[in-house]
Amino acid sequence: MSDKYDVIVIGGGATGTGILRDLSLRGMSCLLVEQSDFATGTSGRFHGLLHSGARYAVRDRNSAKECMEENKILKEIAPDCVEDTGGYFVATENDDSSYIDKWLEGCAASGISTEEISPKELLQQEPSITNHIKKAYLVPDATVDGFNLAAANFLSAKSGGGEGRTYTQAVGFEIEKDKVLGVNLKDILTGREETVKCDFVINAGGPWTGHVASLAKQNLKVSPDKGVLVIFNHRITAKVLNRLRPPGDGDIFVPHGSVTVFGTTSKPADRPDDVEATKEEVLKLLDEGEDLIPEIKDMRLIRAFAGVRPLYQPEGGGGGREATRDFVLIDHESLSGLKGFVSVVGGKLTTFRLMAKNTVDFIAKKLGVDKPCITHKEMLHPPFPKERPVSPDNICQCERVNVHMLDKAVEGRESFSLSDIRRITRLGMGPCQGIFCTFRAAGYYHQNRNLTPDRTNMLLRDHIQERWKGGRGLLWGWHARETELMRGIYLGLMNLERVDDK
């Protein structure tokens, strides 16, 4: 840890890690602090769609164009974080025909290729889609793993000298004569507090951006907006499936490996961490999805959760889907005279690199650093490859996670949770959602990391608790039975609820 950094970045999502990467590749000394683990905020709670931009072609052409450009770049530089599935846009017989023309126009103007596909051909490729199709088109959508992306950004930043600390929260700022001199940090795990000096702070806190700004007595209206998502236990369609109509609820099905993420909704949230999905929200979402996938209610759900969009409302703007999805860079010096503090807010994951570039261009100029952005040229590699061997020794059979990966995942970590491991290895993210592999991973780490029994009990219990959270909105059908099985194993068989919390 240094005496003083050029820049401290607050927030470890795609934006924050992307900014750290750009800063370090331009030779600036930088530190990122994240209150939890990378991509535990919005970047880990979205549908995982790498937009072609077609979704914004009608309402927001600027966004659409940016998405298409970034989509191309990320496919080239981050092939291990991205699956180039392609996507469909499908208008059902109930959907507005006039919107289709506007959409085609908007895509063309934004440089997004669309190719019409006949309903017959579509149904041959994707038999689970409704046959009440009016029109269908192929677009260059792709899918992206938010956890992998943030981890890859961070690894790239590290190679350029960038530093980062997870489970470290910004709790205040050192301000003197209207200039930010440093950040007061608190280690969440140990409680230890310290102040780290810097020339500039970049506030990339996602839904917490408003809160972080308020610590510097800055007033930013960031409205949290909740989007509910569910995961099905199989890959429903080979490509991304979008509904071709004005953006509404339940419009998108995104395949990720062997599962499908489906969503989403939009409604003002109470808090930046309103991330649980209720049964009612899930049922409503399924009602919407039935139009595109008629048998959706017979399909097995394995997880229900929500993400919170950080919507920035400059004075007088509307909320929800109307609010701008463009990102905004706020220079607090021009806003209120506070020097050395910028906030980056809004946007979508697909354009994180561009957000980062704009932000770092600004900062570099302020700091007199004359280096161009090269983030569009440098490759991004996640900690673990997509291709993994099938082996009887795999700890997690669904996602093919072996013990070498488990070892590598904890390298350099003083303490960790199984969720931290899950995010970068995909342990327990497949159809079984970790009912058995959680136990295996805990047992493995106990011996190989020399953990105390208390520590291992906690690892195990915390992760089962995480799984429970993701299933609370799904307590019917197959998942109700799964929950009984989980109680049968972890309470009935192992009596883990009576282990003392020391």
Residues lying near another protein in the complex (CB under 8 A) are found at 279, 283, 392-395, 397, 436, 439-440, 442-444, 446-447, 452-453, 456-457, 460-461, 464-465, 468-469, 472, 475-477, 480-481, 483-500
In the beta sheet, which residues pair with residue 346?
327
State the greatest distance between any 2 C-alpha atoms of the chain, in Å, as a whole number. Answer: 68
CA angle in degrees (0–180, nearest 5) for 469-471-474: 140
Q: How many CA atoms lie within 13 A of 185 on its CB side?
A: 26
Quick count: other Cβ atoms within 10 Å of Cβ 352? 30
* Residue 399, amino acid: E
Rounded to whole angstroms, the Cα distance separating 319 from 223 reads: 8
Strands (E), 318-361: 327-331, 341-346
From 16, 38, 356, 28, select the one nearest 160 (Cα to Cα): 28
**In this structure, is the dihedral angle defined by the CA atoms of residues 464, 465, 466 and 469, taken in order, positive or negative?**
positive
CB atoms under 10 Å from CB of 105, counted, come to 13
Contact between 442 and 454 under an 8 Å Cβ cutoff? The reply is no
Cβ of residue 493: shortest distance to another protein, in angstroms?
Answer: 6
User: Cβ closer to another protein: 138 or 496?
Assistant: 496
Question: Which C-beta is closer to another protein: that of 89 or that of 305?
Answer: 305
Which amino acid, residue 31? L
Q: In the complex, what is the shortest distance from the CB of residue 487 to another protein, in angstroms, rounded to a whole number?
A: 4
CB 58 within 8 A of CB 46: no
Least distance from another protein to the Cβ atom of residue 262, Å = 17
Helix axes 97-110, 61-77, angle to 10 degrees: 60
CB of 500 to another protein, least distance (A): 8
Distance CA 500, CA 502 (A): 6
Which helix (H) or strand (E) covers residue 255, if one does?
Answer: strand 252-256
Which of 219/447 has CB closer to another protein?
447
CB 112 within 8 A of CB 16: no
**Nearer residue to another protein within complex by CB, 371 or 481:** 481
Name the minimum Å distance from CB 8 to another protein.
34
Q: How far is the CB of 480 from another protein (least distance, A)?
A: 4
Of 348 and 463, nearer to another protein (C-beta) is: 463
CB atoms within 10 A of CB 333: 15
| For another protein, the closer CB: 177 or 502 | 502
Q: Give the Cα-Cα-Cα angle 331, 335, 341 (nearest 5 degrees).
A: 40
Beta strands in 369-466 (DSSP E): none
The least distance separating another protein from the CB of residue 436, rounded to whole angstroms, comes to 6
CB closer to another protein, 115 vs 476: 476
Name the residue nearer to another protein (CB basis): 84 or 462.
Answer: 462
* Nearest distance in Å: CB 472, another protein: 6
Considering beta carbons, is residue 111 or 443 the nearer one to another protein?
443
Query: Nearest distance from residue 446's CB to another protein, in Å?
Result: 4
